[in-house]
Amino acid sequence: MPIIQLNRLAAIINGKFLCGQDVAAHVPVKTISIDSRTLADVSSCLFFAIKGVRHDGHDYLEELYRKGVRNFVVSTEDTPLVRYSDACVVFVPDTLEALRQLAATVRHGFHYPVLAITGSNGKTIVKEWLFELLQDELKIIRSPKSFNSQVGVPLSVWNMTENFDLAIFEAGISQPGEMEKLARIILPTVGLITNIGDAHQENFQSQAEKADEKLQLFESCELIIYCKDQELVHQRIHSKFGNEVSLFSWSFTDNSADLLIRAEKEATATTLYFKVNGEGTSVEIPFGDAASIENACHCLAFVLATNRLTEQVKRRFSSLQAVAMRLELKQGVNNCSLINDYYNSDINSLEIALQFLNRQASFGKQPQSLILSDIRQSGFTSGELARVVARLVKLYRVNRLIGIGEELWKHQALFAADAVFFRSTDEFLAHFRPSDFKNEQILLKGAREFRFERIAAFLQKKYHQTQMEINLNALVENLNRYKALLKPETKVMVMVKAFSYGSGTVEIARALEFQQVDYLAVAVADEGIELRQAGIETPIIVMNPEEHSFEMMLEYRLEPNIYSTEVFQQFDAAARRLAVSDYPIHLKIETGMHRLGFSSADELAVIARRVPEEGRLRIRSVFSHLAASDDSMHDAFTRQQYQRFKELSDVVVRTQPNPVIRHLLNSAGIERFADLQLEMVRLGIGLYGVAQSAALQVETVARWTTVVSQVKDVVPGETVGYSRKGRVEQPKKVAIIPVGYADGYDRRLSNGAGKVWVNGHICPVIGNICMDMTMIDVTGLAVHAGDTVELMGGQIRLEELARWMGTIPYEVLTGISQRVHRIYIQE
């Protein structure tokens, strides 16, 4: 990343100093930030206050000043920062455009090749695989993780330095008009388009329009690489560029393509046959799925088009691994939390991982430990790299550093005295014991060659092999898709009751708090207390409060749902005993569901009068539940509920001295009745990937997997399972998997009703499901002990699983036992 004096930087973005101009020539800017939650290097940081649809960076300026930030770019001249004598504030009309201009200026300072990758799918994987294939031949800088947005691209390009031979940047768009801005920043010399699919299609009139928008990225390119089998891509490239740019196409079927590839697939591997200079050759990849084969072909096309196919690169195709563009949060030994981010090793991803470590540790007030290997392809000399790492370790307040590798070991004098270093992973494993780690957050960050999975196995708490993987990025994406249906000022309450619909309460709550949701909702006080003890500060409402827990609720700042006069009197008495004042409560109104809630306007009027008179409590919100917002047959009834709620809630709202929030809509209501959103909505099952319409494009959050324990042949006439329900009439191959109804794999899925996904195939359950085991029919398939089995996820959809069980997705998710280990992943 460059270091630019603030006065020069202000000139680049055509900024006007509101204050601090006299010292700006002596202020070096090393880091750029747009997020007040991820700051570390406050002394040399420049904060761009960007205005979004729902959040405005200007709202956090004074908070940032208190944290130590002194340099700001703002788009409003009326800022309280000008009263601080040591603040440097630069005004521009548009802070996001200023950030783009800064990145574009940085880009113009370098003349090595820049590859830009766009497309609907596969951008990140192709980028990472090209890095794996070419990292020994070239020094490569690339986008961190999947930084490909209007903000992610300039932050990626900002990191360019003269120490590299090739830059690889992703570019993603969601609506017309965006790509021209990214193209101006990246200014690529080579372009690669992966494919055109349905992602973000709702914002384009046609796929052709979307393809033309994406291809704007390549207007500065000397070479464009694409798949000729994608007819739309082929047509639009030739229409737009004709003979003005060198084109390199590949195909599975078209002999006229520059590269013709024949793929021979096996269950878990594929050989790609092709010709180079008229001679046949091949590479093998360790994948059999169509998406991975396509991504590998894009990589092969780039390597051939740029004349970089050496024997060593060919061999590396066989060792490509599934891209771990994610952090995995697991439970470790001795009450530790283990964050796995190995096999993704560079300075940018290290800083992102340290931010995540910092956030997780701060919730539980736990010490932070970093186990780090040598970093390859950093663009620095080994001594420079060690200094950068030492600076990051200090900035992010890492309590213990364990360095592994010859380079870190060689420069250990640059680190604090309590850091320890080992030349190899084997040396570390020989020296440490699991008992050396207790009550701490541990980040594993290592290059592939150091095989940190051995350290993960050493430190991870041992579970049986059935687990549920929770994708926090998908959860956040779902949250944002629902937010897009709301007005910017509408608040969001998220339901985290029932173990967050089976996904794990504390970890989900941490992710939601980081996203700054307005409220969390739990079912009972114990769930709320657990969140408070884990460090969650977001307001929490208890939907089913019980009198025995009222004093604990007050102690832990949990806000009750008051649904009757009796409950109001009980909670008011507890508030009186603890001498509290102005304590927030929430009134539940019955509008047609006929569950909990006030039905009488007179009862509500009495409480509405008493609360402000007595001063112990404060009515924070009034709400009700919709009975059938997911069913169009009952839309008239839903609107009747809305009218009833407006009438009854007005009895409260108009009599209170404070603003009272009204909330009625659940997930289906947000989607189907956005015009009824009032001041707040309650998001539940939609957050976890169940929507009323595919148009909303919510993502599956949970993936439930297990492994094959044993495979055996069963001859005709034999039976499988209890009560001999699985009758075998033809020779069968049966696999046993370690999951049963005690794990939540419901017995209703027995005897073919349920199905699983193994090695690219759907396999039915055979026989009755047992308490801890299930048998599946894998006849004719290459299935072995240890193979992964998907019970629910990308291939076995939650809605399908619910349908096979004859129930609803809620029951499936909440029925998955807590003995099923949860793993949390995040980019």
Contact 590, 600 (CB under 8 A): no
Residue among 37, 144, 120, 117 nearest 827 (CA): 144
**Of residues 84, 463, 722, 810, which has the active-site annotation?**
722
Give the residue carrying structure tokens 């766009």: 118
Tell me the C-alpha distance between 122 and 130, whole Å: 12
Tell me the C-alpha distance between 284 and 280, whole Å: 14
Q: How many residues does the chain have?
A: 827
Angle at 633 between CA 631 and CA 636, to 5 degrees: 100
Tell me the C-alpha distance between 173 and 151, whole Å: 11
Tell me the C-alpha distance between 601 and 403, whole Å: 67
Phi, psi of 555 (to 5 degrees): -65, -40
CA 106 to mean position of chain CA atoms: 29
DSSP-assigned letter for residue 45: E
How would you classify the pairing of strands 327-331 and 821-826? antiparallel
Contact 498, 811 (CB under 8 A): no
For residue 355, the tally of other CB atoms under 10 A from its CB is 16
Residue among 121, 143, 119 nearest 130 (CA): 143
Tell me the C-alpha distance between 629 and 340, whole Å: 41
For residue 798, the tally of other CB atoms under 10 A from its CB is 21
Contact 712, 732 (CB under 8 A): no
DSSP H helices, 760-820, are 798-805, 809-815
Tell me the C-alpha distance between 6 and 544, whole Å: 55
Tell me the C-alpha distance between 210 and 201, whole Å: 8
**Contacting residues for 454 by C-beta, under 8 A, at least 6 apart:** 425, 429
Query: Cα separations (Å) of 349 from 373, 409, 634?
Result: 13, 21, 50
DSSP 605-633: HHHHHHHHHH-SEEEEEEE---S-TT-GG
First to last CA, the chain: 21
How are the residues of the chain apportioned to helix, strand and coil, as percentages rounded to the nearest 5?
40, 25, 40
DSSP-assigned letter for residue 374: P
What dihedral do alpha carbons 23, 24, 25, 31 form, nearest 10°?
130
What is the b/e burial string over 120-145, where b = at least 16 CB atoms within 10 angstroms of the residue's CB?
bbbbbbbbbbbbbbbeeebbbbbbbb
Residue among 118, 350, 318, 342 nearest 213 (CA): 118
Q: Is 722 part of the annotated catalytic residue set? A: yes
**Of residues 123, 127, 214, 497, which has the active-site annotation?**
497
- 3-class DSSP assignment, residue 195: coil
Task: Return the structure tokens found at 108.
Answer: 């113009």
What dihedral do alpha carbons 194, 199, 200, 202 form, nearest 10°?
130
595 is annotated as contributing to ligand binding = yes
Tell me the C-alpha distance between 733 and 85, whole Å: 77
Going by the annotation, the residues of the binding site are 595, 771
Catalytic residues: 497, 722
Going by the annotation, the residues of the binding site for substrate are 595, 771
